[in-house]
Each structure stands twice: as structure tokens, then as C-alpha cells.
Amino acid sequence: MTDPTPRRAPAGAAVLREDVTEAIRAAVFEELAAVGYARMSIEGIARRAGVGKTAVYRRWKSKLSLVLDLVGAFAAQGLPAPASGSLYGDVRALLEVASHALRHPVASQVIPDLLVEAARHPEIAETVKAVLLDGQQGVMTQIVREAVARGELPEGTDPGKALDLAVGPLYWRLVVVRTPLPKGYLDELARSAVAALRA
Amino acid sequence: MTDPTPRRAPAGAAVLREDVTEAIRAAVFEELAAVGYARMSIEGIARRAGVGKTAVYRRWKSKLSLVLDLVGAFAAQGLPAPASGSLYGDVRALLEVASHALRHPVASQVIPDLLVEAARHPEIAETVKAVLLDGQQGVMTQIVREAVARGELPEGTDPGKALDLAVGPLYWRLVVVRTPLPKGYLDELARSAVAALRA
């Protein structure tokens, strides 16, 4: 095995190892954007990162685990805790974060790729789902719980349905339809989601 | 060029040519399900259909035009004209058709594939969008127009937003979240969509 980090400088080596990890992460995003998940190879990633294949395999056991790791870190970041004091405010805050995330290249390119893999390989579907959805489902469960406590939603409101109604239209619009959002559209969607939830 | 249809039997040849076209269509769906759009090749399709590559290229100029042709025919079929006399009834009928379509292998596997291609190749995004969305957008425009005429929706309601609110939650649930729909869920979604549209 060849290792790009020099053996004789422990402190420097630690820094370099982190640099290599970061270079690989950056290379993965570039490869995904350029060729897509299906055509992407560990070899191509290593070449782009300027490291050996071994350096990649030492860190991640497969292409899939590498991508899931990156997407998981991306999906978890920036999700708001419900703090506005109203159902409308909490849903609006979630839509704000989701709309930024869904316009990021990770979402617009990599997530559809992962869903394609999930559709074809049921064994990875659960992992993909967990990575993509657990954070959002957790936040929506909290939003619903607090709205029920305030009397804004009936007892027993299903957080899964709430997520469908709040995030579904935005996902459809940004990932499937792909036309620009008119000004004020997130406000309208949040208002609509609240009305839909109370229907 | 080799041709699987015999040159000397014009009537039989016409039948055979149609059989070949059908065999290719069936092979495309099988290949898509087995290996996905990105890994699928004209060669693999021809092999599965038991025809020469030439027989495929004589009918479609590329893998993409072949798949778009098939998906377009699938997407156009079965869309209801609004006929229920109420916004709820019309939205419910659209959701019924959409929920069947989204659970069909064409939708659950091929459409995500096409969206991946569209995200990566802006030049094909318009075609994919037209093939997938034009039919639904046409139906929703009619539904909104009649609901406005009946006084169920305000003048100037945007059919694009109506489609986001009606179909978005179902798409998200069936294609992204992929958990089973509880009994009566389409009724609830239709009711929610009507409330969302009137909010």
C-alpha cells in the first residue's frame, strides 16, 4: 500500500491526512456533478483528488458508503429547531432551509442519483431514506407536537403526513418541475401547508 | 445493414416490423429495470429484444429519444378530463391516476433516471419536462379554470401552484419517502389540496 502522507512527521502527517480526506470529499462532489453516481468510480475520484485508490478505500469501504456519508453530513446541517411559536412560522422556517438545500448541487444532482439507486437496490433504500429523511422527520415531529400543545393542530396529527404536505410541493417544484419560484412563494406554500394540515 | 424482416413478404414484413418495435419497447423496460438508464446500452436492448442494433437505430436515433418516446406515451395515458363537477372531485380523480402512475415501474424507476439526466444535461431537461409534465399541467389548468368558473377558487389562481400543492405531496410520499399510503390517504390529500389552494 502506498500512502501519500510522509511517515516521519507525525504532526504534519495528521494535517496531511485531513487534507487528503478533504481532497477526496471535494473530488467526490466534482465527479458526481461531472459524470453522475452510476458512472462514477473510486478510480476517477482518486485521480481527481490526486491520491491513490488505497487512500480512498482506507477511509470508505465503497462508493455508496462514501456518498451516503457526504450526503448525510449535508442533510443534517442547518435544520431548524421549531422556535417561532407558531405553526406557520415553524413550517416557514423549515421551507426556508429545505429550499436552500434543494437548490444546492448535492440535492439537485446527488439525491436524485441516490433515489435511483434506492429504487433499484432495496437493500440500500433504507439507508438512503434514513440519511435523507430522518432529520426532517425529527424536526416535523417536534413542530407538530408543539402545534398540538398550542391547540393549532388536532391531537393525533400524523407528522409523516405533515411532512408530505409541507415539503412535498416544494420538492416537486424544485426537483421535478424546476421552474423558478415566484416572489413570496415560500410564504404562500407555508400558508397553504397550514391550511392543508388543518383541513 | 442487416434487417430482421424478410424482403419478399410485404404484408408479413409489416407485421414483423411491428413485432420488432414491440419487442424493442419491451426490452427497454426490462433493461431499465435491470440496469438503469445510465448503464443501459442500445446493444443490451438489441440483445434482449433478439434483434440487431440496426433495427433499434432505424427506429430511434438515441437511447434518450427511445426512452422519452416510451415515457411520453406512458405519461399521456389515462389522465382524466375534469368531469366531477367539484374541485375536490377533480383533484381526487387526478390523484387517483397519479398514484397508479407513480407506483408503476416506469415512474418509480425510469422517471428518477430521467430527472438525473435532466439535472446533468440542461439541453434535455426541457424535453424531459415536456414529456412528464405537459399532460398533467394541461389537466390542472382545466380543473382550475372550471373551479374558478364555479366560484370555488379565486380568479387568477395559478395552475402551476395548484399542481405543486395537489401532486407534490403524493410524489414526495411515493417516490422519495416510499412508505405505504394509509387507507383513505388520497381522500385526505385531495381535501388538503383543496384547503391549501383556497388558503
Same domain, B87 and B132: yes
- CB of A112 within 8 Å of a chain B CB? The answer is yes
Q: Give the domain extent around B22.
A: 10-59
Contacts 24+ apart (CB under 8 A), B82-89: B82/B139, B82/B142, B82/B143, B82/B146, B86/B150, B86/B152, B87/B143, B87/B147, B87/B150, B87/B152, B87/B153, B87/B194, B87/B197, B88/B190, B88/B191, B88/B194
Residue A159 lies in a domain: yes
Same domain, B84 and B17: no
The answer to whether the CB of B133 falls within 8 A of the CB of A133 is no
Same domain, A91 and A33: no
> What confidence category does residue B139 fall into, taking pLDDT thresholds of 50, 70 and 90?
very high
Supply the DSSP symbol for B172: I
User: Which chain A residues are Cβ-neighbours of B129 within 8 angstroms?
Assistant: 177-178
Neighbours of A118 (CB within 10 A): 21
- CA distance, residue B103 to nearest chain A CA (Å): 11
Same domain, A171 and A78: yes
Same domain, B37 and B80: no
- CB of B171 within 8 Å of a chain A CB? The answer is yes
Task: Give which of B193, B95, B114, B179 is closest to A178, Cα–Cα.
Answer: B114
CB-facing half-sphere around the CA of B97: CA atoms within 13 A: 19
pLDDT value at B162 more than 80 = yes
Residue A2 lies in a domain: no
Backbone angles phi, psi at B95, to 5 degrees: -65, -35
Same domain, B143 and B106: yes
- CB of A175 within 8 Å of a chain B CB? The answer is yes
pLDDT value at B2 more than 80 = no
CB contact under 8 Å between A129 and B161, yes or no, is no
pLDDT value at A74 more than 50 = yes
- CA distance, residue B4 to nearest chain A CA (Å): 33
Neighbours of B166 (CB within 10 A): 30
> What confidence category does residue A48 fall into, taking pLDDT thresholds of 50, 70 and 90?
very high
Q: Which residue of B has its CA nearest to A35?
A: B120
Residue B64 lies in a domain: no
Same domain, A98 and A160: yes
pLDDT, mean over chain B: 85
- CB of A133 within 8 Å of a chain B CB? The answer is yes
> What confidence category does residue B68 fall into, taking pLDDT thresholds of 50, 70 and 90?
confident
Question: What is the spatial distance between Cα B195 and Cα A21, in angstroms, rounded to a whole number?
Answer: 49
> What confidence category does residue A35 fall into, taking pLDDT thresholds of 50, 70 and 90?
confident
CB contact under 8 Å between A120 and B109, yes or no, is yes
- CA distance, residue A9 to nearest chain B CA (Å): 42
> What confidence category does residue A6 fall into, taking pLDDT thresholds of 50, 70 and 90?
very low
Residue B5 lies in a domain: no
The pLDDT tens digits of the residues spanning A108-155 come to 667 777 777 777 777 777 777 777 788 889 999 999 999 999 999 999
Same domain, A92 and A40: no
- CB of A16 within 8 Å of a chain B CB? The answer is no
Same domain, A85 and A163: yes
Can you tell me the mean pLDDT for A62-85? 82
Last residue of a domain, one of A24, A39, A59: A59
Give the count of domains, chain A.
2
> CATH code at B49?
1.10.10.60
Can you tell me the mean pLDDT for B93-97? 93
Q: How much is the pLDDT for B12?
A: 58
Q: How much is the pLDDT for B72?
A: 78
- CB of B183 within 8 Å of a chain A CB? The answer is no
- CB of B30 within 8 Å of a chain A CB? The answer is no
Same domain, A53 and A75: no
Instruction: Using CA atoms of B189, B145, B93, A181 in order, give the dihedral in degrees to the nearest 10.
Output: -40
Q: How much is the pLDDT for A7?
A: 46
CB contact under 8 Å between B169 and A170, yes or no, is no
The answer to whether the CB of A144 falls within 8 A of the CB of A159 is yes
Same domain, B115 and B156: yes
Of the ranges B1-15, B32-46, B122-136, the best mean pLDDT one: B32-46
ipTM attached to this prediction = 0.79
**H or E segment to which residue A130 belongs:** helix A122-149
Q: How much is the pLDDT for B14?
A: 61
Task: Write the DSSP assignment of A26-54 as a string of letters.
Answer: HHHHHHHHHHHHHH--HHHHHHHHTS-HH
Residue B89 lies in a domain: yes
Residue A4 lies in a domain: no
- CB of B126 within 8 Å of a chain A CB? The answer is no
pLDDT above 90 as % of chain B: 47
Same domain, B49 and B90: no
Q: How much is the pLDDT for A1?
A: 45
pLDDT value at B5 more than 60 = no
Residue B170 lies in a domain: yes
User: Which chain B residues are Cβ-neighbours of A116 within 8 angstroms?
Assistant: 36-37, 109, 112-113, 116
Can you tell me the mean pLDDT for B108-120? 74
> CATH code at A107?
1.10.357.10
Can you tell me the mean pLDDT for A25-52? 89
